[in-house]
Structure formats: structure tokens, C-alpha cells
């Protein structure tokens, strides 16, 4: 008899965004006349930047002749892309990350979900609440939790976010080996200061812990005081891994390309205290289970770092940031306390009412899709998340509809 991994039975029936998609499809079926505006899942709506499209086409053309055809590429990604990433995203900020530390992949969702495989099932996990559900669910699947207890799982250390701590919980009182952090934060849009990140790095060094830092929304940072990378924090290269994505940066949600930075200085241990290079371990895992991102996609990603690519990407992000500022302004004018919307494409709104009820009410009355805060954890109850990824016209219309629906 083939037996299942029973850790899966602890999970809620479906992934948050799958459940939302199901509800939206049902609503659309019952109301085919409704023009639904989607501001739920953070999925980009603008096309790929011109520079990326051109490089993408060129990459495909190269596959058309034997002389330039590419078969399997390097599992870690082509050198031209890893070099461009190291120079532009790190060395230009004075951070000594090299191309060798970079692992190109098909998404930060997969990498943040897969990275925990490297660690013991007895590793204690610190997870923010509210949080991107992938960190929680993948650790449940791996057997690091006890059973579900309402919106939580036994055995995890929850880092509680609140308006009091600005949704940037610190390490005080935490006991953990593996710490998940995400800034600019999904779902709250909060950003962490240098001092706040330094506290976590100091904690990790003192406790031989590891920080998994999700920086998928880094490109939205406009405040010069806010660090773009955990590796801008002294000591972080010994105790942190960083996940980046081209999805929200340059419209690659469907195209798929991301990368993970595992510095050569990062050391982890076995149960007897022997040291291991985390980079070697991840390389072992990555090269065994992954065969690389397609060549044209990597060409398209590298074009982000060309002169015209940088200008076009900045234009894209500015567009969504303008949407975010409109959403933030409208929700504040309507009297709601909000987080994010600046240095972030997400606006986290305290409605003070049951999150799923608010989601259903806005869907039914306004035909707008949001994300219920409680889907991101217990501390998200009473909140909704609004995504700025849509056209300006849709955002303006959605805000009129949402504010009207919330009034009644």
C-alpha cells in the first residue's frame, strides 16, 4: 500500500490564491455581466519591457540555427546573467556578492519553498504573521510543525506583526534556527530599516541561525535609507540567503525567472557540529533537481540590466508605485489605517472587520478582487491587502467601487 506523506493532511485544503481564484470564477459564472477588477494576487498587467522583448526574440532566433543552438544550459544559470546580477544588484551598492554566489531559477516561490529541504526536520522555524503562505506550508509539508491550531500550526515560532511594531517584528524572545524575513513585505508592504535588519543579523550570528530573506519586491524601494539587500548589513553574508525575482521587477510572472544568492561565506552545521558550505549544499540540490531556466528567458532577464532596460524597468515600477499611492490616498481619505503603498506595491488596510467577509462583500458589491488579510495568518484578521498591479484606469475605477461598497 502506497502511503502518503501525512504532513499534507495538516494543511488547509487549498493554497490561498487558488481558493480566491475559485471564488472569483464562481462569482463570474453567476454574474457574467460583471466586469471584475483583479487586485488580489500580485500579478503584473503591463507587458515585458521593450529591451527584454528584443533580447527574448534574439534568444529564440539563436535557437534556430545549429551554430548558435543551445541545449542544456548551466544549472546555476548562464554566466552572462549571473555576472550582470552580481554587478548591478550588489557590487554597485558596495556589496561583495559575486556571480558564483548566484543561482538563477524559475521563481522565488519555488526557491523560498524548496530551500528548507537543506535543513533538519528538527530545525526550529521563525515565521512572520502575517506572512506569504509558501514559507509556512512548505515547512508543514516537510514535517517541521505539529498539527493545525486554527490559523496556526503547533511548533512554529510566529513573529507577530502589528501596527504597534509597524509590521516589522524583531528578534526579542525568539528561539529559532531558520528565520524567514520578507522586505518590502508581502503582504503588509512594510519595509525594514538598516537597524532593524542588523538586529536580525546579530541574532543569527549569536545563535548560529540562518536568515532566509525574501527581497522579491526590492525594486519598489525608493527611500534611499532603506536597504535593498540583506547583504548591505555587516555580517549578513555569513548568516543569510536572499531570494530575488524578476516577476514584479520586470513583468516576468508568466515568463518565469528569479535568482537566489547563497554567499560562499555562509556556513551551516550537522548534528555533530561539523561545518558545511551552504553554497555547496544548495548547489548539490539545485543541480540535482533543476535543469536551468530557458536560454531566451535568461537573455530577456539580462536585458533588464542594459541601459535602456534599466530605464524601462524603472518606468514600469513607477507606474505601479503611482497606482499604489492612489490606493493609499483613497483608503486613508476613507478613514482607514494603512501600511505599505510606499516602497511597495501592496497596501495593507485595517477594516476592523472579518477579512473573508470583507473580501466577499467587495467582490459581490464592487466586483473587485482583494486578498483577505487572514489568508496570510492570524495577525492578518481584520485586514485586506490591495495590490497595485493593474492599469491606472482600473485602479481608479476599483477605488471608487471599493470606497462606495465600504460606506454601505
In the complex, minimum distance from the CB of residue 391 to ligand MLT, in angstroms, rounded to a whole number: 17
**By Cβ distance, which residue is nearest to ligand MLT?**
42
In the complex, minimum distance from the CB of residue 16 to ligand MLT, in angstroms, rounded to a whole number: 8
> What length does the chain have?
408
Nearest-Å Rg of the Cα atoms of the chain is: 21
Residues 6+ apart with CB under 8 A from 348: 167, 187, 188, 189, 190, 338, 339, 340, 373, 383, 384, 385
The 8-class DSSP code of residue 91 comes to G
In the complex, minimum distance from the CB of residue 195 to ligand MLT, in angstroms, rounded to a whole number: 27
Residues 6+ apart with CB under 8 A from 79: 99
Nearer to ligand MLT, 209 or 244 (CB): 244
Is the Cβ–Cβ distance between 335 and 86 less than 8 Å? no
Nearer to ligand MLT, 109 or 144 (CB): 109
Q: Give the other-Cβ count within 10 Å of 35's Cβ.
A: 9
Residue 50 host element (H or E): helix 50-62
Report how far Cα 375 is from the mean position of its chain's Cα atoms.
15
Nearer to ligand MLT, 105 or 306 (CB): 105
Residue 139 host element (H or E): helix 133-141
In the complex, minimum distance from the CB of residue 43 to ligand MLT, in angstroms, rounded to a whole number: 6
> Closest Cα to residue 134, out of 41, 201, 200, 205?
41
Nearer to ligand MLT, 42 or 380 (CB): 42
Distance, CA of 407 to CA of 387 (rounded, Å): 20
The 8-class DSSP code of residue 352 comes to S
Nearer to ligand MLT, 109 or 330 (CB): 109
Nearer to ligand MLT, 176 or 347 (CB): 347
In the complex, minimum distance from the CB of residue 2 to ligand MLT, in angstroms, rounded to a whole number: 30
Nearer to ligand MLT, 43 or 354 (CB): 43
In the complex, minimum distance from the CB of residue 39 to ligand MLT, in angstroms, rounded to a whole number: 10
Give the residues lining the site for ligand MLT (CB under 6 A). Answer: 41-43, 109, 132, 186
Nearer to ligand MLT, 204 or 321 (CB): 321
Distance, CA of 197 to CA of 213 (rounded, Å): 10
Q: How far apart are the first and last CA of the chain?
A: 56
> Closest Cα to residue 368, out of 321, 317, 330, 319?
330
> Closest Cα to residue 266, out of 205, 214, 218?
205
Amino acid at each position: 500500500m502506497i502511503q502518503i506523506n501525512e504532513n499534507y493532511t495538516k494543511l488547509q485544503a487549498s493554497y490561498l490564491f487558488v481558493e480566491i481564484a475559485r471564488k472569483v470564477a464562481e462569482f463570474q459564472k453567476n454574474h457574467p455581466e460583471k466586469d471584475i477588477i483583479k487586485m488580489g494576487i500580485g500579478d503584473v498587467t503591463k507587458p515585458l519591457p521593450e529591451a527584454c522583448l528584443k533580447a527574448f526574440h534574439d534568444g529564440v532566433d539563436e535557437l534556430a540555427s545549429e551554430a548558435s543552438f543551445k541545449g542544456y544550459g548551466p544549472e546555476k544559470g548562464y554566466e552572462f546573467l549571473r555576472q550582470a546580477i552580481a554587478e548591478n544588484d550588489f557590487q554597485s551598492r558596495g556589496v561583495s556578492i559575486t556571480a558564483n554566489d548566484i543561482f538563477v531559477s524559475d521563481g522565488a516561490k519555488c526557491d523560498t519553498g524548496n530551500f528548507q529541504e537543506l535543513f533538519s526536520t528538527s530545525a526550529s522555524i521563525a515565521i512572520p504573521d502575517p506572512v506569504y503562505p509558501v514559507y509556512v506550508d512548505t515547512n508543514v509539508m516537510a514535517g517541521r510543525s505539529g498539527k493545525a491550531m486554527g490559523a496556526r500550526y503547533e511548533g512554529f515560532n510566529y513573529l507577530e506583526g502589528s501596527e504597534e511594531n509597524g509590521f516589522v517584528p524583531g528578534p526579542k524572545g525568539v528561539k529559532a534556527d531558520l528565520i524567514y524575513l520578507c522586505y518590502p513585505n508581502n503582504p503588509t508592504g512594510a519595509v525594514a530599516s538598516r537597524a532593524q535588519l542588523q538586529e536580525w543579523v546579530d541574532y543569527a550570528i549569536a545563535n548560529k541561525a540562518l536568515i532566509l530573506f525574501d527581497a522579491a519586491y526590492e525594486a519598489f524601494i525608493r527611500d534611499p535609507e532603506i536597504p535593498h539587500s540583506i547583504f548591505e548589513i555587516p555580517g549578513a553574508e555569513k548568516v543569510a540567503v536572499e531570494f530575488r525575482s524578476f516577476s514584479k521587477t520586470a513583468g516576468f510572472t508568466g515568463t518565469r525567472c528569479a535568482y537566489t544568492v547563497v554567499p560562499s561565506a555562509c556556513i551551516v552545521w550537522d548534528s555533530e557540529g561539523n561545518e558545511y558550505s551552504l553554497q555547496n549544499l544548495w548547489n548539490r540540490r539545485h543541480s540535482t533537481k533543476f535543469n536551468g531556466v530557458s536560454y531566451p528567458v535568461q537573455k530577456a532577464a539580462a536585458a533588464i540590466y542594459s541601459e535602456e532596460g534599466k530605464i524601462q524597468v524603472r518606468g514600469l515600477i513607477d507606474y505601479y508605485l503611482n497606482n499604489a499611492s492612489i490606493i493609499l490616498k483613497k483608503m486613508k481619505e476613507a478613514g482607514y489605517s494603512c501600511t505599505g503603498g510606499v516602497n511597495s506595491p501592496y497596501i495593507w488596510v485595517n477594516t476592523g472587520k472579518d477579512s473573508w467577509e470583507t473580501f466577499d462583500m467587495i467582490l459581490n458589491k464592487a466586483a473587485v478582487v482583494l486578498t483577505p488579510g487572514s489568508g496570510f495568518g492570524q495577525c492578518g484578521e481584520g485586514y485586506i491587502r490591495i495590490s497595485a498591479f493593474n492599469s491606472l484606469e482600473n485602479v481608479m475605477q476599483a477605488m471608487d467601487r471599493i470606497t462606495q461598497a465600504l460606506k454601505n
